Chain A
Amino acid sequence: MPDASALAAQVFTGLVIGGILVLLAIGLSLIFGLMTVVNFAHGSFYMLGAYFGVFLLGLTGNFWLSLVLTPLMVGTIGVLVERFLIRRLYGRSIDDPLLLTFALSLVMVETVRLVWGRIGLALDPPRVLAGAADLGFMYFPVYRLFVIAVTAAVLVGLWLFLHRTSVGLIIRAGSRDALMTRALGVDLGRIWLLVFAIGTGIAGLAGILAGPMRGVYAEMGVTIVIECFVVVVVGGMGSLLGAVLSGLLIGQVVGLTTFFAPKLAEIAVFIVMAVVLLVRPSGLFGEAGLME
C-alpha cells in the first residue's frame, strides 16, 4: 500500500506538470482560436524560453529579472515569426501554417544546438526557492510551489485581460467572428501580432519555469508540444477553460501513473485521449467560442 504523503506529493507533482501544460495549451488555444493557426513551433518557443533563461541568468545573475525578460524576448521572436512568415499564409489551406511552423521548429532546434551546443544545460533556481517546504502533511520543493503560484497568477491575469479590457473584448470578438469584427473597423492584423506575442511569450515563461525542474535541452519542445496537442484535443480547441481543465487532468494522469505504474506514464496520456474521442468526439468542452 503506497503511503498517503507520497501519494499527496505525487498529486502536487501532477499539478506542476499540469501547470506547465496549461501555460502552453492556453497559448496554443488562443492562437488557434483567433487565427486558426496550429503552431507546431509552440514547443520550440518553450525551449527557447528555457535557453534564454540560462543565457540571461548567466548575463545578469538575477533570476527574477530573467523571469521577466525571457517572455518578452520570446514574445518578440513570436511577433517576427507571425509578421514575416505566418501572415503570408492567411487565406491559404489551414494545413499550411502547420507545415510552416513544423519546419520552423526544426530550424529553431538546430539553431539552438549550434549556439548552445548539443549537450543539455542546467538552470539553477534562486536560493530563496531552493529546499522543501513543510505543508503539514508532507514536504514539497519550494520551487514547484512557486511554479504552481506563477501558473495561477498568469491564468488570473489572462482572464482579467480578456474579460476586463477592451483589447480583450476585441480578441474574444475576433475569435468568434473575424469577418464581422473587421467590418466594425478593427485592425485585426495588430491583434494577431499581439495574440501571437502573448501566446509565445507565455510559452517562453513556461520554458524558463520548467528549466530548473527538467533541465534545458534542444529537444524539450517537441515532446511537450505533442502532449499539448493531446490537451487541446481533450479540452476542445479554442476553449480556454477546456485547455486549463484538461491540462490539469493530463497532469494528474501523468503524475499518478508515474506513481502507480511508471512504465505506463507516457502511454496513459494517449489512452485518455482515445477514450475522450470515443465518448465525446468534440472534446470535453466542445469547440464553441473562445470563452465557453
Chain B
Amino acid sequence: MRVSLRSAAAWVAAHPILCFVAFFAVFPFLVPYKALATQVLIFGLFALGFNLLYGYTGLLSFGHAAYYGLGAYGTGIALAKLQVGSLWGGLAAGLALAGLGGAVIGFFCLRRRGIYFAMLTLAFAQLLYFIGFHLAEVTGGDDGLRGIPLHPLTLPGVSVPLDAVLPFYYFTLVLVALAFAGLKRILDSPFGTVLQAIRENPARATACGYDVNRVKWLSFVFSAVFCGLAGALDALRLSVVPIESLFWTTSGQVVMMTLLGGAGTFFGPFVGAATFLVLEDRLAVFTESWPLVIGGIFVLFVLFLPRGIWGTLTGGLHGR
C-alpha cells in the first residue's frame, strides 16, 4: 500500500501542473458544496504564497494576513471606490498593492534574522490591521469594505459573466493554475535553487557569494504577490472585504494550513487548505469550539508529524 502510494506520488511529482488541473477540475463535485471548492483553491493559493517563504526560503512569517488583506483591499477599493470598470484592472490593483506592501514590510522585517523575523512580520501585519480599522472612509473600517462588483470576464472577443458558482470556480482555477506554474518556474530557476540553499544553510549561501538578503527580499515580494492574488480573488468571491482579512487570525490560519499539508512540499499547501476548510466546515456543524479541535490537531502535528500530511505521505526530503 505504502509503496504504491509512493510511486503514485512520484508520478504526481513528475507532472505536477497536469495533475493539479485534472484534480481540481472535478474537485467541486467531491466536496459537500461547490462554494467550498472555490474557498479551498483560494486559500490553497494563499498557503502556496506563504510556503514559498517558509517552506522554501526557511523564513517563518506570522503576518501574511497583511498581503492577503492588501490584495483584497487593493482590488476592493479599485472596484468599489475608484469605479475601475474591469475585472483585470481590479485584480492588477490588488497585486500591485500586495507587492508594494511586501517590498516595504519585507525590507523592515529582513533587518532582523531568526525568531525576530516572525515577531516583526506579525507586528507589521497588526499595524496594517489598525490602519485598515481606523481608515474607515477608504476601507469601510469595522464593517468591512462592501459592494465590490463582479465584472464579467473580458478577453478579446468574449465576455463571460462570473456571478454563478461554477464559472467563478473555473476562472479561479485558471488563475491559481497559472500561479502554480509560476511558482514551479521560480523554484526550478537558479533563483529557486538559491532560495533552498538559504533555507538549508544561510552562512554557506553567503560564502558562495550570493546576496542572501536580496534573494530573501525578492522571495518575500513574490510570496506577497501570490498571497495578494489570493486576497484579490477572495474579495471578488465574497464581494466584501471583512476587516478580519488583515487580522492575525488570518495569518495563523495560513500557517496552520501550510504545516498541516506539509511545508516545503509542492502540493502540501492545497492539501492543508482542503483539510483545514473541510474540517472547519464539518466541525462547525457540531460545535462552536471548533478552533479547540483544530488547535489540538495542530499541536499534535507540530509534535509528531512536522512534515505534514503530504510531506509524510511522500517522505519529503527534509523534516520541517
A interface residues (Cβ-Cβ under 8 A, vs B): 32, 36, 38, 85, 88-89, 92-96, 98-100, 102-104, 106-107, 109-111, 113-114, 222, 226, 229-230, 232-233, 237, 263, 266-267, 270-271, 273-274, 277-278, 281-282
Contact = CB atoms under 8 A, between A and B. Distances in A.
A96 B306 contact: yes
Nearest to B256: A103
Residue among A104, A222, A226 facing the most chain B CB atoms (10 A cut-off): A226
A237 B255 CA distance: 24
Nearest to A108: B295
29 contacts: A38-B118, A38-B119, A85-B299, A95-B118, A98-B118, A100-B299, A100-B302, A100-B303, A102-B62, A103-B256, A104-B295, A106-B298, A107-B291, A109-B291, A110-B292, A226-B123, A226-B248, A229-B119, A230-B123, A233-B116, A233-B120, A263-B134, A270-B124, A270-B130, A271-B127, A273-B123, A274-B108, A277-B108, A277-B112
B303 A85 contact: yes
A32 B296 CA distance: 24
Interface of A is mostly: helix
Interface of B: 60, 62, 108, 111-112, 114-116, 118-120, 122-124, 126-127, 130-131, 134, 248, 252, 255-256, 259, 289, 291-292, 294-296, 298-299, 302-303, 306, 320
A104 B122 contact: no
A114 B124 contact: no
Given A93-B320, A232-B119, A99 B255 contact: yes
A17 B109 CA distance: 26
B292 A229 contact: no
A88 B303 contact: yes
A222 B295 contact: no
A237 B123 contact: no
A107 B115 contact: no
Contacts of B303: 85, 88-89, 100
A111 B295 CA distance: 11
Contact of B292 (A111, A226, A233): A111
Contacts of B306: 92, 96
A181 to B, nearest CB: 21
Contacts of A94: 114-115
A93 B58 CA distance: 10
A96 B60 CA distance: 10
Contacts of A109: 291
A270 B114 CA distance: 20
B289 A233 contact: no
A96 B320 CA distance: 9
